[in-house]
Amino acid sequence: MALNCFSSMQRERDEGFVNPLLIALIVVLAAVLPSCNIAERLKDSDPKSLKYSEMNDTERVEYIKMKSVPLAKSLGNKEPGNPSEESALRIKRFVDAYLERDEGKKNDSKDCAPGGDILSIYERASQNAPTINRVFREEGASPEIGLYLAMLASEHCVCYRSERGPVGIFQLSRVFARSNRLTTSRDPNLNDERCDTERASYAVTRFLKSEAEKHPADSLKELKLIMVFHIGPGSFRKHVAARGDEVTGFWKLVSMKPNTDRRWTAKIADLLPRFFAAAIIGENPADFGIQIEPLSTY
């Protein structure tokens, strides 16, 4: 049954009478139909005036469900309807974590490191977005994949050098760089093409194309490519592909939790919810008080 939130109550109030039974009914419906609340607010409000921080937890879950749909389509999802409750809750956890970040100093130098407040992170991303979008589109890949792989890898720090060894906006290893024709250097004062956003983006798209050829008819191809990039083809085959019977749907893959058999660790299970969280913020920045355009539009 379609419900126009509180419209009948509004009409009776305008006429000078509100039925007490109607008030009680409205209270009950507001509790059991939270999607009506957020859907009406989204429809009736100026989109730029509705902030995620103003929503309660139930509304945030419904918001995430709504905003996940176009993102999922850009990643090849063909399943009808909104994401599951479990998927939305797992994504929400990471959206909320971004908002709880302590304020940090914006740093665009080569000393940039992941961290800081959400405004600094996404302003930094907006500077890198034009190059990433152009390269990924040229190569026939979804720019959202490039934008938010970079967010998960380095939070868009162009020349971040991890203590573990990877370098650059996509945190590429020396082995990866050499196999994709990028020059590397252990000396931060010398040229390292992993710090070149354009060259690194081309290298990543070449890698993704090569991996995509291994999953030509897979409806979950884009999600699996995100995972392959972050954990490597070997780990993917060992920990993800080996669970093929369980990975049967787009939102099921997003919502899968860590388990105790050491194959589906928290690091693996959290990748896709983290990706969606970063993308929901980046594609709807005004809803989070960030004064930039949606990153995929640069």
pLDDT tens-digit readout, 130-177? 999 999 999 999 999 999 999 999 999 999 999 888 999 999 999 999
Closest CA to 204 of 171, 162, 246: 171
CA-to-CA distance for 289 and 49, rounded, in angstroms?
9
Check: CB of residue 41 under 8 Å from CB of residue 50: yes
**What pLDDT score does 233 carry?**
82
The residue with greater pLDDT, 33 or 66, is 66
Position 264 confidence tier, pLDDT thresholds 50, 70, 90: low
Mean pLDDT over 187-195 rounds to 85
pLDDT at 274 over 50: yes
Does the structure show a pLDDT above 80 at 11? no
Domains of the chain: 118-297 (1.10.530.10)
Task: Say which residue the tokens 């959290």 belong to.
Answer: 270
61 close to 88: Cβ distance less than 8 angstroms: yes
Of 227, 286, 233, 285, nearest to 75 by C-alpha is: 227
* pLDDT score of 31: 47
Measure CA 189 to chain center.
33
The C-alpha atoms of residue 116 and residue 156 are separated, in whole angstroms, by 12
pTM of the predicted model, to two decimals? Answer: 0.80
Model confidence over 213-235: pLDDT tens digits?
887 666 678 888 998 898 888 87
Alpha helices in 213-262 (DSSP H): 221-231, 233-239, 250-255
135: amino acid identity, one letter: V
Measured at the CA of 43, the angle between CA 20 and CA 36, to 5 degrees, comes to: 40
pLDDT of residue 175: 92
pLDDT at 172: 95
Q: Is the dihedral of CA 160, 190, 210, 141 positive or negative?
A: positive
The pLDDT confidence band at residue 262, using thresholds 50, 70 and 90, is: low
Long-range contacts of 37-40 (CB under 8 A, 24+ apart): 37/5, 37/62, 38/62, 38/63, 38/66, 39/66, 40/4, 40/5
